[in-house]
Amino acid sequence: MDLDSKIRKIPNFPKPGILFYDVTTLFEDPLSFRYVVDKMCEPYLYQQVDKVVGIDARGFLLASTVAYKLNAGVSIVRKKGKLPFRTRQATYEKEYGPDIIEMHEDTIKPGERVIIVDDLLATGGTMLATVDLVKQLGGEILGIEFIINLSFLPGLKLLKNQGLNVHYLIDYNNESVTQADLVSNQITKPAKEIVIGIIGGTGLDDPKILTDYKEIEVTTPYGEPSSKLIIGKIGNKKVVILARHGRAHSLLPSKVPYRANVWALKEQGVTHILATTACGSLREEFRPGDLVFVNQFVDHTKHRPVTFHDEKVIHTPMAEPFCKDLREILCSTAAKLNLNYHNFGTIITIEGPRFSTKAESYMFQSWGIDVINMSTVPEVVLAREAGLPYQAIAMVTDYDCWKQTEAPVTWQLIVKRMNKNAENVKKLFLEAIPAINFDTCDCMDVAGEVKV
């Protein structure tokens, strides 16, 4: 996401010699604003957050939206004289003069877990004063979030010297307005050709989304893959499609040759994998037809090889199993296309081919799981071993069997809803794949990488 182009730079404001970074133009763009809020929430998705503190005035907009997504309350920091109840005060120096900020003395309760958000970090005076106020009130600061860091000013160093966890999305290292490429996926000159592998689930292995395509048969040290490979292009990107369950959907989830599939894609030069899958929802808000760009999985399979390494012990890091860079591109594209989507979620893969009992469905809900399928594991694990960034696109087809007002899931229902909504995923691929331009990420740097 190119945030720099959305931020207006105004010289000599509010006084001569100051370059003002105006984020209101970024807030006016719905795609960019949503991206910023999602990124600020990301470090705290699996933590309890009680309060989000917003600093006067643009921090209010950020704090409100972040708090909504994290199911937290909002506390506000205002300039002197703006709050009606009893307050605590702190004086600080900004880059263009002194100021005083206040918080209501009861806005944060002792022991509450807090994050603080603001638009820009410069000298750090405002934030340091806010940190002091939060600590006075007994709050525990989990982290601090900014859109912009001015690294030529001392704010970041001062905050880190206090042991604070600080994140920001864009960095300017001097007053000439240059963007450090800290978060952007737009690497303009990749060192190697980007080749996208699509592992197609039900209804989503259609070769017609490609231009100039051809089919080839391959074999691997792990046998033949599920189907012939279809090779063509989407935009300027080479794409290789593989049908996970075979072109006639003849392979049971437990019988899919997952190792052969991932090996075959890597052997054809694939650098990134997008994998579609039907899933059931375990949450009311994850509705049939929604897309879920999952970020975590739980493995509930029983009979599948989960590694390429049969002869030696390799412990593969899996803390973040899906590719955040691919996920960001997919989220941005889905927002642009006005698709209903969720930018994170935990998926559980069961062995199948049967569906869940109600007892199992309720148990999975109690575990905090969002969606359920039969195919993501071990595919995602093997992709990580092969050093291939992997992101699953899970399409919700049903409510499993937990929802009393819905009929339990059937195969016929899944096929009907997947066929109805497959066009949305095809549109997503046509828009998103040409935007995949990064050739380095954490997914590619793993212990025991498989060499083809």
Task: Kindly give the interhelix angle for 58-70 and 30-41, rounded to the nearest 10 degrees.
Answer: 60
Pick the catalytic residue from 206, 299, 400, 439: 400
As a whole number of angstroms, the distance between CA 103 and CA 87 comes to 5
Residue 354 makes CB contacts below 8 A (sequence gap 6+) with none
Q: Which residue has the tokens 């899931």?
A: 409
Whether 445 is catalytic is no
Question: Residue 325 corresponds to which tokens in the numbers above?
Answer: 């860079």
Whether 398 is catalytic is yes
59-95 burial, b at 16+ Cβ within 10 Å, e below that, comes to bbbbbebbbebbebbbbbbbeeeebeeebbebebeee
Omega within 30 of 0 (cis) for the link into 14: yes
User: DSSP H helical segments within 11-112, as ranges?
Assistant: 24-27, 30-41, 58-70
DSSP string, 404-432: TTSPPP-HHHHHHHHHHHHHHHHHHHHHH
As a whole number of angstroms, the distance between CA 435 and CA 133 comes to 43
As a whole number of angstroms, the distance between CA 301 and CA 351 comes to 4
DSSP string, 200-260: E-TT---GGGSEEEEEE---BTTB--SS-EEEEEETTEEEEEEETTTTTT-S-GGG--HHH
Question: Residue 312 corresponds to which tokens in the numbers above?
Answer: 């030696």
Residue 92 makes CB contacts below 8 A (sequence gap 6+) with 98, 99, 100, 101, 125, 126, 128, 129
CA-only gyration radius of the chain, Å = 24
Pick the catalytic residue from 4, 299, 398, 445: 398
As a whole number of angstroms, the distance between CA 68 and CA 63 comes to 8
Q: Which of 309, 237, 297 is nearest to 269 (CA)?
A: 237
Omega within 30 of 0 (cis) for the link into 353: yes
Residue 388 makes CB contacts below 8 A (sequence gap 6+) with 197, 262, 265, 266, 270, 271, 272, 273, 443, 444
As a whole number of angstroms, the distance between CA 420 and CA 20 comes to 49
- Alpha carbon dihedral 405, 409, 412, 417, in 10-degree steps, equals 70
As a whole number of angstroms, the distance between CA 56 and CA 64 comes to 12
- Catalytic residues, which ones? 398, 400
